[in-house]
Structure 1
Amino acid sequence: MDAAATRPPNDELAALAREARWRIVETVAASKAGHIGGPLSATDLLIALYFAQLAIDPADPQREDRDRFILSKGHSAIGLYAVLALRGYFPVEELATFDHGDSRLQGHPDMLLTPGIDASTGSLGQGLSAGAGMALGAKRLGRDFHTWVMVGDGELEEGMVWETVLSAPRFGLDNLTLIIDLNGLQQYGWPAGDADRFDRSEPVGHVDLERVFTGFGWNALTIDGHDFDAILGAFDRVTADRGVSGRPTVIIARTAKGRGISFTEGTYRWHNGVATEEQLETARTELLGATGAGR
Structure 2
Amino acid sequence: MEISDLERIARDIRRRDIQAVYEAGAGHVGGEMSVIDLLAALYFHVLRIWPDQPKHPDRDRFVLSKGHTACALYVVLAERGFIPEDEISTFLQPYSRLNGHPNCNKVPGVETNTGPLGHGLPVAVGMAKAAKLSSANYHTYVITGDGEMQEGSNWEAIMAAAQFKLDNLTLIIDHNRFQQGASLSETNDVAPFRPKLEAFGWEVTEINGNAMAEIVPALEHRGGRPHCIVAHTNKGHGISFMQDRVDWHHKVPSKEQYELALAELSEAL
What is the number of residues matched between the two proteins?
269
Which residue, out of 18, 21, 28, partners 1:28? 21
Q: Which residue of 1 aligns with 2:244?
A: 266
Contact in 1 for aligned 2:150/2:190 (Cα 8 Å): no
For residue 60 of structure 1, report the CA deviation from its aligned partner. 0.9
Q: Which amino acid aligns with 2:210?
A: H
Which residue among 66, 80, 84 is the counterpart of 2:77? 84
Which residue of structure 1 lines up, in the alignment, with residue 54 of structure 2? 61
Residue of 119, 138, 148 corresponding to 2:141: 148
Assess, with a 3 A threshold, how the Cα gap between structure 1 residues 159 and 79 changes in structure 2: closer, same or farther: same
Task: Give 1:86 shift.
Answer: 1.0
Q: What is the SS of the residue equivalent to 2:178?
A: coil
- For 1:121 and 1:204, the matched residues in 2 are separated by 22
Residue 156 of structure 2 is aligned to residue 172 of structure 1: no
User: For 1:79-228, what aligned pairs fall within 5 Å after superposition?
Assistant: 79-189=72-182, 201=185, 207-228=191-212
Q: Residues 121-156 of structure 1, C-alpha deviation per residue, up to 9 Å, x if partnerless?
A: 000000000000000001000111001010000001
**CA distance, structure 2, for counterparts of residue 213 and residue 201 of structure 1:** 18
Q: Is the 8 A contact 1:70 1:149 kept in 2?
A: yes
CA offset at residue 114 of structure 1? 0.3
Matches of 2:266 and 2:182, distance apart in 1:
32
Q: What is the Cα deviation at residue 17 of structure 1?
A: 0.7
Cα distance in structure 2, aligned partners of 1:203 and 1:254: 18
Question: Displaced runs of 4+ in structure 1, greater than 2 A?
Answer: 200-208
Tell me, what secondary structure is at the counterpart of 1:201?
A: helix
Structure 2 gaps, min length 5: none
Read off the aligned partner of 1:118 and give its amino acid letter. E
Q: Which amino acid aligns with 2:249?
A: H
* Change over 3 Å in CA distance of 1:256–1:203 after alignment to 2: farther
C-alpha change, 1:64 and 1:202, in structure 2 (3 Å) is farther
Conservation of the 8 A alpha-carbon contact between 2:117 and 2:148: yes
For the residues of structure 1 that align with 2:90 and 2:188, how far apart are their CA atoms?
35
- Residue pair 1:18, 1:287 contacting (<8 A) in 2 also: yes
Deviation sequence 1:23-63 (CA, Å, 0-9, x none): 11110110111111111100000000000100001111111
- CA RMSD, 1 decimal: 1.6
In the alignment, structure 1 residue 229 sits paired with structure 2 residue 213: yes
- 1:202 to partner: Cα distance: 6.2
Provide the identity percentage: 44
Task: Give the TM-score normalised by the residue count of structure 1.
Answer: 0.88
**What letter corresponds to residue 209 of structure 1 in structure 2?**
F
Superposed CA offset, 1:78-126 (max 9, x none):
1111111111111221111011221121100000000110010000000
Q: Gaps spanning 5+ residues in structure 1: where?
A: 1-7, 191-199
* Cα distance between partner residues in 2 of 1:32 and 1:39: 15
Q: Which moved more, 1:203-212 or 1:23-32?
A: 203-212
| Deviation, structure 1 residue 263 | 1.4
Which letter does structure 1 place at the counterpart of 2:40?
I
Question: Is the alpha carbon distance of 1:206 and 1:119 closer, same or farther for their aligned partners in structure 2, counting shifts above 3 Å?
Answer: closer
